[in-house]
Structure formats: C-alpha cells, structure tokens
Amino acid sequence: MENQQRWTGAGQKISFIPNLTKVSFNRDGKVCSCYQIQGTDGSNRLVLLCLGLLNVVLLITAVVLGVNCAKVREGSLHVSHSAVAPIIDELNFLRSNHSDVIEAEEEAKIALERAAKNHAQLKEKIEKQRTINDNYQKQVEELQEELIHLQSNMSALEGTCGRCLPGWVLYNSSCYYFSVIESSTIKKNWHDSRADCIRKGADLIVIDNKEEQRFVSDCSENAKTGYSIFEDGFWIGLTDTKSEGTWVWINNVTEVEQRYWMDHQIHLMYDESLYSDRFYIYEEPDSVASREDCAVAVHSPSNPWKTRYHASCQREHRHWICEMTSS
C-alpha cells in the first residue's frame, strides 16, 4: 500500500502509513480498523486523542441507538401482541363454533330425514285409517237404516203385541193376515185359501164397513207384486155359489152394497166349442160363466171403492186375506 503524505502549516511533511495490524468489531457488529500514524510526536498524540474521543462518542451514540431500538421493538411487539390476541381468540372461538355448526347441521339433516320418513309413514296410516273410517261410516249408515226399520217394526209389534199373532196386522178390533207377506209366490184357489185361514184359527176376511174397505184397499196397494191389478188380487170371504148373482159373506150376511164392484172386467176363458181361449167383457158382479163364483179384492188407483171382481173359485189362484178377532 502506498504511503499517504500530508503537509503541515510550517512546511513539515507528515506521512500516514496505514498499518493494518489488527481488525476488531465494535458492539454494533461493525468492523473497526486500527491504523498506525506516523508523524511527529505532538501532532500524533493530538490526532490520537481526537480519534479516541470520536470513537467514544460513536460508541455512546451506538449504545444509545441500540437501547432505543430495543425499546421501540419491544413496545411494538407488545402493542401488536395485545391487538392480535383478541383476534386470535375470536378466530379460535369461531373455529370451535364452526365445528359445532357443522355438527349441528349434520344432526339437523338426520333429524329432517327422520321426520320426512315419519311423515310418510303417518300419511300412509292416515290413508288406511280414512279407508277404515269410510267403511265404518258405511256400516254405521247401514246400521242406522236397519235401526229405523227395526224401530218401525217394533212400533208395529208394540201395537199388536199380546193382541195379534206375529205377522198379523191389527186394525180396530181385528187381526189381518196377508199371505203375500209370508210368500209372494205362493198362491191358492179360494177353497184352499179359506182352509189355510181356518188352520190359523181365522177365516177369509169379511168387509162390513167402508173403513175396513179402505184399509184393505191401502194394504193391497202396499202388497203389490205384479204389473196387473188382477195378478195382485186377494181372495175374500164373499161368494155366490149357493145362488147365482146373490153374493153372501162367509158369516151368512148378504152383500147388498154394489158400489165396491168394478164397473167391468175382461176375462180370458176357454171356449170348448172353439177349442181356444176367448176374451169376455162383462159388468160386475153379473157373471157370464157359472164358475165365476168367488170375489177378489184389489187396489184400484182410479177409484178406491171399485176394488172387487169375481173369478173362478177352483181354477184361479190368488193370494188371500185372513181375519180374526184380536185377543
């Protein structure tokens, strides 16, 4: 390394020869070089003293700066830590709550699926119960109808109980039996019908007043089984077998009332001379054929009083009405 020379004010030459004999580090970690200054003794001491003072000042400055930096750094860390701590705590709390929310969401999904399944099962049960209820309602309606029917029959039985036999109808002081109630298909001739009434302890009906005539007409209407009034007729206890044209009841009372007979009647009869059936129209109760000797009662929709005609006692088959005195 070349020598560095300087001149003083007195014209003396001072040579500075850097002599890098030792390298050291100060407290701040900076490199310090030591130089050997060559010159006069007085001037060298002054320079060394200045340099020493300068080093002391720099050292003090470095120490002060280091201490202040440390304080500033510590305060900054303290402030940042105190500000961040609540945020970190809040973050940890949110993370914990987030896990709880996810778990609660999963539980809610499971509960919802379970509720939907229960709802479907409940709906199915409701449909089944509704079908059962409809069936029960239908049965209740049928039972109510049957109850009304039984109550109606009970009322009728209460009116006849102890006074008429089962199946008989009480009217005024008499009990009446309509064979069509027992069987709508069984029909008999006049003689067999009367025999059936006698076996029952009664006889064929004797109509001896207009109230009874109206009663028989109404009952005949309710007991209709065919499309023709002649098919729905009932044998009554009136005949002219002893004397043609003289109609006598079975209690030997002669019928003198003519208004209950129908005005005319169409009869289909077998004509032996022609070997075939023929229609005959004649007025009631006059008989063209001698075998038309027994009376039949029917319901007449046009006139409730015109309800009788005569028919063959043996050949014709009809329902019949029995009458007996109530007990």
Residue 66 phi, psi dihedral angles, 5° rounding: -65, -45
Same domain for 189 and 65? no
12-36: pLDDT as tens digits = 444 444 444 444 445 555 445 444 4
Give 247 or 264, the one with higher predicted confidence. Answer: 247
Which of 87, 115, 131 represents a domain boundary (last residue)? 87
Q: How many domains does the chain divide into? A: 2
pLDDT(307) > 60: yes
pLDDT value at residue 78: 58
Asked, for residue 317, whether it belongs to a domain, the answer is yes
Same domain for 317 and 195? yes
pLDDT value at residue 197: 96
Asked, for residue 31, whether it belongs to a domain, the answer is yes
Q: Spell 218-233 as b/e; 16+ CB within 10 A means b.
A: ebbbebeeeeebeebb
What's the rounded Cα separation, in Å, for the pair 103 and 108?
9
Lowest mean pLDDT among 12-21, 261-270, 292-301, 303-312: 12-21
Across the range 114-140, mean pLDDT stands at: 91
pLDDT(116) > 80: yes
10 Å CB burial of residue 205 (0-12, 13-18, 19+) is buried
64-106: pLDDT as tens digits = 888 777 777 766 655 555 667 788 777 777 777 777 788 888 8
The predicted model scores a pTM of: 0.48
β-bridge pairing 174-178 and 319-325: antiparallel
Dihedral sign for Cα atoms in the order 216, 219, 220, 221: positive
269 beta partners: 278
How many angstroms separate the Cα of 289 from the Cα of each of 279, 285, 310?
Answer: 12, 11, 11
Q: Spell 42-78 as b/e; 16+ CB within 10 A means b.
A: eeeeeeeeeeeeeeeeeeeeeeeeeeeeeeeeeeeee
How many angstroms separate the Cα of 312 from the Cα of each of 170, 238, 258?
Answer: 30, 12, 20
pLDDT value at residue 219: 85
Same domain for 173 and 82? no
pLDDT value at residue 18: 47
Asked, for residue 42, whether it belongs to a domain, the answer is yes
pLDDT > 70 fraction of the chain, expressed in percent and rounded:
69
Same domain for 317 and 173? yes
pLDDT value at residue 268: 46
pLDDT value at residue 85: 77
pLDDT(254) > 70: yes
pLDDT value at residue 22: 47
Nearest to 165 by CA among 129, 128, 199: 199
Q: Which helix (H) or strand (E) holds 237?
A: strand 234-239
pLDDT(179) > 90: yes
Same domain for 315 and 173? yes
Same domain for 176 and 280? yes
Residues contacting residue 200 through CB under 8 Å, at least 6 positions apart: 165, 177, 322, 324
117-126: pLDDT as tens digits = 999 999 999 9
Asked, for residue 47, whether it belongs to a domain, the answer is yes
Structural domain that includes position 73? 4-87
Same domain for 315 and 222? yes
Asked, for residue 149, whether it belongs to a domain, the answer is no
Give 19 or 296, the one with higher predicted confidence. Answer: 296
49-69: pLDDT as tens digits = 888 888 888 888 888 888 777
Asked, for residue 224, whether it belongs to a domain, the answer is yes
Same domain for 63 and 190? no
pLDDT(290) > 50: yes
Same domain for 175 and 320? yes
Same domain for 185 and 318? yes
Count Cβ atoms below 10 Å from residue 294 Cβ, excluding itself.
Answer: 26
pLDDT value at residue 220: 80
Which of 87, 114, 130 represents a domain boundary (last residue)? 87
Asked, for residue 191, whether it belongs to a domain, the answer is yes
Which of 55, 87, 119 represents a domain boundary (last residue)? 87
Same domain for 58 and 175? no
Nearest to 324 by CA among 170, 159, 158: 170
Asked, for residue 98, whether it belongs to a domain, the answer is no
- N residues, the chain: 327
pLDDT value at residue 144: 83
pLDDT(231) > 90: no
Report the CATH number that the domain containing residue 305 is assigned in CATH: 3.10.100.10
What's the rounded Cα separation, in Å, for the pair 196 and 182?
13
Same domain for 81 and 185? no
